[in-house]
């Protein structure tokens, strides 16, 4: 149905488009500024007061050279990658299992179990008692402290349950007749059919882990060698320690590069996610939708 | 004879209608039927007990003068002493005020924005443009809070981009904005808006797409313009989603994103930036004042639960939409 637009509608459409463009610019510009400044001449950057929209002076990658030789960043990067992979494995298995057991119609106490889990969303002991449990288990300053307390999230289990409930019963029945037990049914029959929801759980877990810092701060108080990337970023960006720059004493005017090194670190630590997320964006939409279905 | 039949019946299935007395039998029967399910539940139930239910027992610390040597059971009881100390302490009013003000400001600014954004985006007909806007507007959400706070710190430092901008407008010289207490609230709320706007709109965009298209056609026939269509069709169509999101949002009103505040604040702006959760962190994990800290934490989570139940009730009464 083609309908002639009224004058008011045309004005609205134009403003709407302009508004969207402005919004996009606002979303991008801080990162763009950082990216451009990180490859600029450091003296010019410190002299500029406004936004930097293109590299100032000679293009230089010195800041990246400094940050990529900074031990903290390398340790943090490898630890974070380890935590992401390990957490995804643990959380993946437990979420599928959790979703599976509370969706079994033959399991009489599934609703009780669901309530048992959902209650913890409503009420919890809080920061200090949780910390003391982790401490009493002697997990402080171990890698496990980063993985076990965050192993299960009720939200993930609800996502998996919703997906598993959508799988037709007849598939399971035919597998049972062929002699499959619960593990076989779960991993070989149901999981392949719930790939999309499983992907959502994995994505949320991976991104959350990549960006996590608070648990590391309270559970890894002294083990610098186990800290994730974000903790080193915190040292560098918030506490402004000169570690990274001091390590790079082969550069004569290292101190000058302090700001640029921060910028380069921001880019290096954020780039993986910014590159990946547009490709997996459709899954987020799915994840948010499933998450909103009430449990 | 009857007795044998009874036993046979018993072995065959669940006993209904006998309540708790039949529970051991029923669990036993269910276990026999679903051995592997019980095996799978084991690690999950253990995890929930250790990491969710045991800490609930830790709430006892709120009622005692906790001493690590004596443990939770052996420490001296002080009843509501910790609560009294908190309510009468010098920081109570400041903490309550900051938490409520930041939470409410964040709600007023951050809640309607994604809805308006989704409605405006819905009016855009160019598919490719729409997709691009969505991708770009989600981006800030994926920046970690550490990096975000790093950006804020840098932009607000004296000589930083924002600081210069503010200096230009107010003619006051480029100072470090994070050192001035009156600037903390706008910085916090606006940075949350920047980070959450696009991503927060996903759910509304999704529920907009499920609004019946025929309604619009009928409305056009009746001569309704865009604004009327929005008020009479679109908004009622996504109202349930809006209400659910509002309930969830209000229940976390007092949580405020304390990890961001921890990264951003410094003692010179405690006056506006210190909230209940950051105080819990400082008292408990930095000053080892476990009893007081647990009491404050318990107070906070009781209010959150109450808020959730109240909003849920109100919304169930007024609009037939509720979380449970």
Cβ-based neighbours of B223, under 8 Å, separated by 6 or more:
none
Give me the mean pLDDT over the B42-47 stretch.
96
Lowest-pLDDT choice from A56-60, A127-131, A263-267, B268-272? A56-60
Model pLDDT, residue B164: 83
Q: A193 CA to chain B: closest CA distance, Å?
A: 20
Place of tokens 């993986």: A272
Residues of chain B contacting A274 with CB distance shorter than 8 Å: 139, 142-143
Q: A252 CA to chain B: closest CA distance, Å?
A: 24
Q: Confirm or reject contact between B23 and chain A (CB < 8 A).
A: no
Side-chain-side CA neighbours of A179 within 13 Å: the count stands at 0
Q: Say if residue A291's pLDDT is above 70.
A: no
Tens digits of residue pLDDT in B129-181: 999 999 999 999 999 999 999 999 988 888 788 888 888 888 776 778 888 88
Cβ distance B155 to A30 less than 8 Å, yes or no, reads yes
Model pLDDT, residue B4: 58
Cβ neighbours of B295 (radius 10 Å): 29
Distance CA A5, CA A14 (A): 12
Complex-level ipTM beyond the 0.90 threshold: no
Model pLDDT, residue A185: 87
Give me the mean pLDDT over the A49-72 stretch.
85
- pLDDT band, very low/low/confident/very high, at A1 (cuts 50, 70, 90): very low
Distance CA A277, CA B139 (A): 8
Distance CA A130, CA A107 (A): 31
Out of 1.10.3720.10, 1.10.150.20, 3.80.30.20, 3.40.50.300, select the CATH number for domain B80-318. 1.10.3720.10
Of B14, B203, B290, Cβ closest to residue A288: B203
What's chain A's average pLDDT? 86
- pLDDT band, very low/low/confident/very high, at A238 (cuts 50, 70, 90): confident
Find the closest chain A residue to B202 by CA distance: A285
Place of tokens 């402080």: A140
Specify burial of residue B117 (Cβ count, 10 A radius: 0-12, 13-18, 19+).
buried
**Distance (Å) of CA A287 to CA A65, A156, A224, A245, A291:** 38, 10, 35, 41, 6
Indicate the pTM of the whole model: 0.87
Helix (H) or strand (E) holding A256: none
Cβ-based neighbours of A109, under 8 Å, separated by 6 or more:
B27, B30
* Residues B148 and A27: beta-carbon distance below 8 Å: no
Model pLDDT, residue B186: 93
Q: Say if residue A253's pLDDT is above 70.
A: no
CA angle A148–A150–A154, rounded 5-degree value: 120
Residue among B154, B164, B174, B275 with most chain A CBs within 10 A, to mutate: B154
Of B139, B206, B226, Cβ closest to residue A12: B226
Cβ distance A133 to B151 less than 8 Å, yes or no, reads no
Give me the mean pLDDT over the B280-300 stretch.
87
Distance CA A144, CA A219 (A): 10
Mark out the alpha helices in chain B (DSSP H runs): 2-12, 23-33, 35-48, 54-57, 71-74, 81-88, 92-110, 112-122, 127-138, 145-156, 161-170, 181-209, 213-221, 226-229, 235-251, 258-264, 270-273, 276-281, 290-319
Cβ distance A27 to B136 less than 8 Å, yes or no, reads yes
Helix axes of B145-156 and B181-209: crossing angle, nearest 10 degrees: 140
What's chain B's average pLDDT? 86
Model pLDDT, residue A30: 92
CA angle B54–B56–A119, rounded 5-degree value: 100
CA nearest to B107, candidates B205, B234, B251, B238: B251
Model pLDDT, residue A245: 66
Cβ neighbours of A272 (radius 10 Å): 15
* Residues B321 and B244: beta-carbon distance below 8 Å: yes
Q: B230 CA to chain A: closest CA distance, Å?
A: 13
Distance CA A286, CA A276 (A): 17
Buried b (16+ CB within 10 A) or exposed e, B62-80: bbbebeeeeebeebeebee
Model pLDDT, residue A211: 92
CA angle A120–B39–A292, rounded 5-degree value: 35
Model pLDDT, residue A51: 83
* Residues A170 and A189: beta-carbon distance below 8 Å: no
Residues 187-246 on B with a CB inside 8 Å of A are 194, 197-199, 202-203, 205-206, 217, 220, 225-226, 241, 244
Cβ distance A151 to B281 less than 8 Å, yes or no, reads no
Give me the mean pLDDT over the B210-220 stretch.
83
Q: Say if residue A252's pLDDT is above 70.
A: no
* Residues B185 and A270: beta-carbon distance below 8 Å: no
Model pLDDT, residue A295: 36
Distance CA B111, CA B107 (A): 5
The phi and psi torsions of B65 (rounded to 5 degrees) equal -90, 90
Cβ distance B139 to A277 less than 8 Å, yes or no, reads yes
Residues present in chain A in total: 295
Give me the mean pLDDT over the B7-29 stretch.
73
Tens digits of residue pLDDT in B69-128: 777 777 888 888 889 988 998 889 999 999 999 999 999 999 999 999 999 998 888 899
* Residues B253 and B111: beta-carbon distance below 8 Å: no
Structure tokens of B100? 């409520």
Distance CA A43, CA B140 (A): 29
Tens digits of residue pLDDT in A79-125: 999 999 999 999 999 999 999 999 988 888 888 999 999 888 878 88
Tens digits of residue pLDDT in A199-233: 889 988 999 999 999 999 999 999 889 999 999 99
In three-state secondary structure terms, A8 is: helix
Find the closest chain B residue to A47 by CA distance: B159
Residues of chain B contacting A238 with CB distance shorter than 8 Å: 146, 149-150, 153, 263
Find the closest chain B residue to A14 by CA distance: B124
B269: left (phi over 0), alpha (psi -120 to 50) or beta: alpha
Q: Confirm or reject contact between B286 and chain A (CB < 8 A).
A: no
More confident of the two residues B23 and A160: A160
Cβ distance A278 to B124 less than 8 Å, yes or no, reads no
More confident of the two residues A143 and B214: A143
* Residues B125 and B205: beta-carbon distance below 8 Å: no
Residues of chain A contacting B139 with CB distance shorter than 8 Å: 27-28, 31, 274, 277
Q: What is the 3-state secondary structure (H, E, C) of A111-128?
A: HHHHHHHHHHHHCCCCHH
Of B59, B263, B308, Cβ closest to residue A129: B59
Of B48, B124, B220, Cβ closest to residue A117: B48
Q: Say if residue B192's pLDDT is above 80.
A: yes
Residues of chain B contacting A13 with CB distance shorter than 8 Å: 123
Model pLDDT, residue A34: 92
User: What percent of chain B is predicted at pLDDT more than 90?
Assistant: 29
Q: Confirm or reject contact between B294 and chain A (CB < 8 A).
A: yes
Cβ-based neighbours of B256, under 8 Å, separated by 6 or more:
B99, B102, B103, B106, B275, B277
Cβ distance A127 to B117 less than 8 Å, yes or no, reads no
Structural domains of chain A ordered from first start: 1-59 (no CATH), 70-293 (1.10.3720.10)
Residues of chain A contacting B263 with CB distance shorter than 8 Å: 234, 238
* Residues B251 and B311: beta-carbon distance below 8 Å: yes
Structure tokens of A116? 């048992």
User: What percent of chain B is predicted at pLDDT more than 70?
Assistant: 95
* Residues B138 and A277: beta-carbon distance below 8 Å: yes
Q: Say if residue B62's pLDDT is above 60.
A: yes
Q: Where are the domains of chain B?
A: 80-318
* Residues A230 and B144: beta-carbon distance below 8 Å: yes
Model pLDDT, residue A121: 82
Residues of chain A contacting B30 with CB distance shorter than 8 Å: 107-109
Helix (H) or strand (E) holding B79: none
Q: Say if residue B8's pLDDT is above 70.
A: no
Q: Confirm or reject contact between B151 and chain A (CB < 8 A).
A: yes
Distance CA A162, CA A291 (A): 9
Cβ distance A108 to B263 less than 8 Å, yes or no, reads no
Of A6, A126, A269, Cβ closest to residue B301: A126
């Amino acid at each position: 149905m083609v309908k002639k637009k009224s004058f008011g509608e045309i004005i609205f459409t134009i403003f709407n488009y302009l508004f969207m463009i402005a919004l996009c610019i606002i979303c991008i510009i801080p990162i763009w500024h950082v990216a451009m400044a990180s490859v600029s001449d450091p003296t010019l950057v410190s002299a500029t007061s406004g936004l930097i929209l293109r590299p100032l002076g000679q293009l230089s990658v010195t800041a990246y050279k400094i940050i990529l030789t900074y031990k903290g960043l390398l340790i943090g990067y490898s630890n974070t990658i380890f935590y992401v992979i390990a957490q995804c494995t643990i959380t993946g298995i437990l979420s599928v299992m959790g979703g599976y057991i509370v969706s079994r119609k033959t399991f009489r106490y599934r609703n009780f179990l669901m309530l048992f889990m959902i209650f913890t969303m409503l009420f919890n002991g809080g920061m200090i008692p949780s910390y003391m449990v982790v401490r009493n288990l002697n997990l402080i300053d171990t890698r496990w402290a980063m993985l076990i307390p965050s192993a299960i999230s009720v939200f993930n289990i609800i996502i998996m349950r919703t997906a598993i409930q959508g799988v037709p019963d007849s598939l399971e029945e035919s597998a049972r007749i062929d002699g499959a037990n619960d593990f076989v049914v779960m991993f070989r029959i149901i999981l392949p059919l719930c790939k999309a929801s499983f992907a959502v759980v994995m994505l949320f877990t991976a991104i959350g882990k990549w960006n996590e810092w608070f648990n590391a701060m309270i559970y890894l108080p002294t083990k610098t060698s186990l800290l994730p990337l974000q903790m080193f970023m915190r040292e560098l960006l918030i506490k402004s320690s000169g570690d990274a720059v001091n390590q790079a004493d082969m550069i004569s005017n290292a101190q000058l590069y302090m700001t640029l090194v921060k910028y380069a670190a921001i880019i290096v630590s954020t780039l993986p996610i910014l590159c990946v997320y547009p490709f997996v964006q459709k899954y987020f939409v799915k994840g948010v939708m499933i998450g909103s279905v009430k449990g | 004879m009857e007795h044998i039949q009874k036993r046979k019946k018993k072995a065959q299935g669940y006993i209904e209608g006998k309540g708790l007395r039949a529970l051991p039998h029923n669990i036993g029967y269910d276990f026999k039927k679903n051995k592997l399910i019980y095996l799978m539940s084991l690690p999950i139930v253990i995890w929930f007990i250790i990491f969710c239910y045991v800490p609930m027992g830790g709430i006892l610390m709120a009622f005692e003068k906790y001493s690590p040597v004596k443990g939770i059971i052996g420490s001296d009881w002080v009843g509501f002493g910790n609560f009294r100390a908190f309510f009468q302490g010098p920081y109570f009013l400041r903490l309550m005020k900051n938490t409520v003000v930041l939470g409410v400001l964040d709600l007023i600014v951050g809640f309607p924005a994604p809805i308006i954004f989704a409605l405006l985006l819905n009016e855009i007909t160019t598919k490719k443009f729409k997709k691009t806007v969505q991708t770009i507007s989600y981006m800030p959400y994926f920046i970690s809070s550490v990096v975000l706070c790093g950006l804020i710190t840098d932009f607000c430092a004296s000589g930083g981009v924002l600081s210069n901008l503010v200096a230009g407008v107010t003619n006051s010289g480029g100072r470090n904005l994070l050192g001035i207490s009156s600037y903390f609230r706008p910085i916090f709320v606006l940075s949350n808006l920047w980070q959450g706007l696009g991503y927060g709109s996903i759910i509304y965009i999704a529920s907009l797409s499920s609004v019946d298209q025929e309604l619009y056609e009928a409305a056009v026939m009746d001569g309704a313009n865009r604004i009327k269509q929005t008020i009479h069709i679109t908004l009622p169509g996504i109202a349930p989603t809006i209400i659910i999101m509002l309930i969830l949002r209000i229940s976390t009103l007092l949580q405020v994103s304390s990890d961001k505040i921890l990264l951003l604040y410094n003692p010179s702006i405690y006056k506006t930036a210190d909230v209940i959760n950051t105080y819990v962190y400082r008292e408990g994990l930095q000053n080892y004042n476990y009893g007081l800290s647990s009491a404050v934490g318990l107070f906070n989570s009781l209010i959150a639960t109450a808020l959730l139940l109240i909003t849920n009730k109100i919304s169930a009464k007024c609009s037939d939409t509720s979380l449970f």
